[in-house]
Structure 1
């Protein structure tokens, strides 16, 4: 969004080249990291995604046609320890959670097949400067919980288009118009990040730091509360719509 944006700074604010700007961020530390890898699908496998929670382990599987894209969730900071334990130990721990992968786990032979994702979550205090607007991952890094990052990036873009399309056509964007985009999108971002943090601490951290079977909180058994996380993930807090 940096190109074609101009602004009249206030007397207290002077435009600064973007490469000299430092953006202050608010960071949190999710309790997990993720190992991503792929294994082949077999006839008779489930269709669509699936997830498993075991003693100290979480595995999510995404259907990619003839392959499973698999996320193996580990406690934050334990990647080097897992590597030191060796590939065979990793394969064994995966099969303990998803026994159906026993017949293909040997396809996982080398660490180059595994992508390590250090999970982070943060948001900028201010998303804009004269001539510059940051949205999506540039403005707020989402935890992978719920897979909401792309949803919120698209909604940021929708709001930015609604607010800035007319000023851009006129060839002049005021600073307060950039601020308006952040005002409309910051609260939904803060709410979903708080929701992700709650899930990470109440469910993920408890699973990863325990060898006991997970007992889901009682509130998840209430139908209207049980459905709330899915609605937040699917539609966001305040869904954005393109104005025509």
Structure 2
């Protein structure tokens, strides 16, 4: 069984992001980048399936500029079998979720994969749409926010995070799954594996040659930092606290 894992290169979650000088986007110059945390869970689960002999190949895919090669090599160091770099057409710096889903469909069909794993969302946009769109384009069953997974032949037994608890499902292969943080604890790449990954080939995928409509459907008007949080106040008694809460509730209402 071939598994496709889609990863996205994002600003590291420990970095405090800020707008660019013209407020057109988030400032990326000099920012530390890393694999999207949810995608790390997807990759870890795929590697574990390979180590258990369930998967024959784990193919990691990422779309973007040359910088994504660093993330792809990290994925190779973490246990991926092959890496595919989707080279974007000129003028398309960052594809939206539908564009990524369309491109992933091309890769999945070319590789004849039977399982696609993604993170449930990317921490830069928090859209959480790519897995669902890909499943619709492939006409495959899907499960999102997966927190536990077992594979028995062609059947996937899984649990997914829902409001207030978990939901148990059974899904037939081929399928698209998106990973929740509770699915596993991703491993750290060892230095020898990182050095070895630097010598491994990364396969190019010409996104323009696919002949797909990849233009963005949303336009960012302006990026602003959140307003500074107002300072708190100290109350002298419970009665004063209750009165202030009652006043705030009236203002909001």
TM-score of the aligned structures, taking structure 2 as reference length: 0.20
Query: In proportion to residue count, which structure has more strand?
Result: 2
Query: In proportion to residue count, which structure has more helix?
Result: 1
TM-score of the aligned structures, taking structure 1 as reference length: 0.21
